Amino acid sequence: ALRRSSRMSEAEAAYRRALELDAGQISAYQNLAALLEMQGRAAEARDLLAVTDRGANRNPFSYLALGDLSMRQGRFEEAERFYRRALRLDPAQAEAPAALGICALSTGKTREARGWLKKAEKLDPANARVSDLAQRLRAPSRES
């Protein structure tokens, strides 16, 4: 709520306090990283999310967040690796295959992107990321 109300410094302090109380709060890492990125502090966000890439993290959404950040920074191979890890952790959700499709499309692999779209649509055709991938693939410049 603080993040959405433009009270960024208070939100940052709240997330940091939550992490002091429980360093295992993956969602606090993700929210703080999103906040830092909104403030133009992408490197700091990346370092923070890297903490969630250690140990016994079984949360696929932390890997989706890492993949999304990597995508925004143009690190497509790294993004793909994180998305694949998210998919391994939860093969029943559509977010990871759709993200892999968007990643493939971003690197010119249209056929591969279409394959990921089919997998994602089977899991959850109404998912926002699945819809985004489908829309991107329908764009006129995608012939292959």
Q: What's the pLDDT tens digit per position in 55-105? A: 667 889 888 988 998 998 899 999 999 999 999 999 999 999 999 999 999
94 and 141 in one domain? yes
Is 79 exposed, middle or buried, given 0-12, 13-18 or 19+ CB atoms closer than 10 A?
buried
**6 band by pLDDT with thresholds 50, 70 and 90:** low
State the average pLDDT over residues 2-24: 80
**140 band by pLDDT with thresholds 50, 70 and 90:** confident
Q: Residue 87's closest CA among 116, 111, 118, 45?
A: 116
- Rounded to whole angstroms, the Cα distance separating 96 from 125 reads 13
**53 band by pLDDT with thresholds 50, 70 and 90:** confident
77 and 34 in one domain? no
43-47 LR contacts (CB < 8 Å, sep 24+): 45/69, 46/73
The CATH number given to whatever domain includes residue 47 is 1.25.40
Mean pLDDT of the chain: 88
Q: How many domains does the chain have?
A: 2
- CA triple 127-131-134, angle to 5 deg: 140
Domain extent, residue 19, equals 1-57
95 and 133 in one domain? yes
